[in-house]
Amino acid sequence: MQYDVILIGSGFGSLTAAALLAQRGLKVAVLEQAKYPGGCASSYKRKGYWFETGATTLVGLDEHMPLRYLLDVTGIELPLLKLDIPMQVHLPDGQLLTRYAELDDWIKEAERVFGPKGQRAFWERCFQISQKVWRTSLEQKSFPFSSVKDLWQALGNVRPHQLSLLPGAFRTMEDLLARYGLLDNKLFKDFVNEQLLITAQNHLGEVNELFGATALCYTLFDNYYVKGGMIGLARALERYLHSKGSAILYRRNVHTITSLPNGYVVNCLAGSYQSRFVISGIPLNDTYQLFQNDQVRQKLQPHLLPSAKLNGAFTMALVLRQAPAIPVLHHQVHVPGGLPLIGSSSFFVSYSHPADSERAMQGERVVAISTHVPDPAALRIQDKRQLEESIIKRMEGLGLLKRADILHLDSATPGAWIFWTQRAYGMVGGYPQYRDIKPWQMKDARLDHKGAYTCGDSVYPGQGIVGVCLSGIIAANKLILDHF
């Protein structure tokens, strides 16, 4: 069947690009290997409950942010509940830290826990950077540059506040802590490192100031819960695609993409599809395997990362009866001495909203737990029970659950992530930020300068739903810029 654009994978980057291109009148098909849309920002049903596949938090609807742009352009509405308090952090010394949504409230809390030295100046600087970064990201939709058209478009959109960001690309978060005298504050350093790990996939010595400050401030923007689970996000975009005569086609496991003189053939086990344009929304390591074009593979080669530079995940899915009255849905829990087998220093916990009857019965709570597994290809977790027990014991000690209330428990290693998502090494969270890879050195949206593009969490700008949303905006923008 002939389409204008075929997109590989239904992650949120792909869905964003698909919606924007369909809004422009193009006939779009999204090929998804699973039976649910959303990729690593979705949900799955088991034993009557809806569990989150990966991502559990949602930001990006404030002014000058990518998700707000997508919704404004398309008119899509989402089933959202706004969170009053985005997160709490259980620190290794036993203190409970509340990440308030208002900047002044958060600074007072940070000063209470970490001491007053440098906190106000540090957080005001980070918040200022994050506001400029998001504003600039939508003003410069042709970044990173890979054509003359990109440069011309960028020059026409240059604003003074954009230029002030440039030095931050050459400084790390470690430099920023040093500037405010915070490097000798071990408790604060541990906090920052674990917060960066869940937002930028790396630690303060590697993450540059622009991405790091923005990542640390995501709780200072409006945070939302998606009613019914994260799949509600993908379903809303799927309905929009159907309204525009486009579709998501499930159980389409793509194995090769072949170039034609004026288009592409996308080959699946279920058949072949032809289109004028193609967008890969899967990681670069997997995109590399699909394309039969040597030119595309050569251009991708320098951007591929080995397992040793990536993260996998160990995840747990719980159902609790008579769940404790925990008003804050998201918790980062530090683990003194680290978790057994994998050494992770923290894990992330997300509860279903008590008002959400679509995911669990009244009085029950669905809980998603995740932690990083470094170099997933090199680590084989033989006995998951050790990890499960360590996490449950830590949560029970903090009053986050009672063991007797566990109705259901599943856990999964990076091997399960390979099976579920087909992502190389079972990678989660996208490519980590590294100090030797500047923003303009990250892979841009073009694959061959003919009609092939890419988006997702392994290209600019990187991690998180709001990041992959921006990557989809950029891919759609460059396709339109190049050909219409």
Of residues 415 and 37, the one with the higher pLDDT is 37
Span 192-209, average pLDDT: 97
Q: Does residue 93 fall inside a structural domain?
A: no
**If you ran DSSP here, which 8-state letter would residue 308 be given?**
G
What pLDDT sits at residue 361? 86
pTM: 0.97
Instruction: Provide the β-strand partners of residue 82.
Output: 224
The CA distance from 255 to 268, in Å, is: 6
Give residues with Cβ within 8 angstroms of 365, minimum separation 6: 319, 320, 323, 351, 352, 354
Read off the pLDDT of residues 210-243 as tens digits, 9 standing for 90 and up: 999 999 999 999 999 999 999 999 999 999 999 9
pLDDT at 418 over 90: no
Span 454-474, average pLDDT: 97
Instruction: Sort strands 2-8 and 28-32 into parallel, antiparallel or unpaired.
Output: parallel
The CA distance from 131 to 144, in Å, is: 19
Pair (161, 215) in one structural domain: yes
Pair (140, 254) in one structural domain: no
Question: Cβ of 148: how many Cβ atoms within 10 Å?
Answer: 8
How far separated are the first and last CA of the chain, in Å rounded? 23
Q: What is the CATH number of the domain that holds 240?
A: 3.50.50.60
Proportion of the chain above pLDDT 70, given as a percent:
99
Pair (109, 204) in one structural domain: yes
Q: Does residue 252 fall inside a structural domain?
A: yes
Domain boundary among 193, 224, 255: 224
Instruction: Report the mean per-residue pLDDT for the chain.
Output: 95
Backbone dihedral angles phi then psi of residue 223, each to the nearest 5 degrees: -110, 140
pLDDT at 422 over 90: no
Containing domain of residue 357, as a range?
Answer: 307-426
Read off the pLDDT of residues 108-158 as tens digits, 9 standing for 90 and up: 999 999 999 999 999 999 999 999 999 999 999 999 999 999 999 999 999
Q: Does residue 39 fall inside a structural domain?
A: yes
Pair (302, 370) in one structural domain: no
Pair (162, 181) in one structural domain: yes
Domain count, the chain: 3
What pLDDT sits at residue 164? 94
The CA distance from 84 to 101, in Å, is: 7
Q: Does residue 89 fall inside a structural domain?
A: no
Pair (211, 181) in one structural domain: yes
Query: Residue 205 is encoded by which pair of tokens?
Result: 């010595």
Helix intervals (H) in 93-169:
103-114, 119-139, 148-156, 160-163
pLDDT at 324 over 70: no
Q: What is the CATH number of the domain that holds 382?
A: 3.30.70
Span 179-205, average pLDDT: 97
What pLDDT sits at residue 1? 61
Helix intervals (H) in 200-308:
209-216, 231-243, 284-290, 294-300
Domain boundary among 177, 202, 224: 224
Pair (458, 377) in one structural domain: no
Pair (243, 166) in one structural domain: no
Span 172-193, average pLDDT: 98
Q: Does residue 131 fall inside a structural domain?
A: yes
Read off the pLDDT of residues 11-66 as tens digits, 9 standing for 90 and up: 999 999 999 999 999 999 999 999 999 999 999 999 999 999 889 999 999 999 99
Strand (E) or helix (H) holding 482:
helix 464-483
Read off the pLDDT of residues 249-271 as tens digits, 9 standing for 90 and up: 999 999 999 999 999 999 998 89
Pair (131, 217) in one structural domain: yes
Give residues with Cβ within 8 angstroms of 322, minimum separation 6: 363, 402, 405
Pair (328, 374) in one structural domain: yes
Q: Where are the beta strands (DSSP E) in 60-101?
A: 80-82, 87-90, 96-99
Give residues with Cβ within 8 angstroms of 23, minimum separation 6: 73, 74, 244
What pLDDT sits at residue 414? 86
Q: Does residue 475 fall inside a structural domain?
A: yes
Q: Does residue 41 fall inside a structural domain?
A: yes
Closest CA to 36 of 224, 233, 226: 233
The CA distance from 9 to 341, in Å, is: 32
**If you ran DSSP here, which 8-state letter would residue 143 be given?**
P
DSSP SS3 for 382? coil
Work out the pLDDT band at 314, boundaries 50, 70, 90.
Answer: very high
Give residues with Cβ within 8 angstroms of 344, minimum separation 6: 314, 335, 338, 371, 372, 373
Read off the pLDDT of residues 429-449 as tens digits, 9 standing for 90 and up: 999 999 999 999 999 999 999
pLDDT at 362 over 90: no
Q: Does residue 330 fall inside a structural domain?
A: yes
Pair (127, 217) in one structural domain: yes
pLDDT at 323 over 80: no
What pLDDT sits at residue 243? 98
Query: Residue 132 is encoded by which pair of tokens?
Result: 């400029």
Pair (219, 272) in one structural domain: no
Span 276-284, average pLDDT: 98
Domain boundary among 224, 245, 275: 224
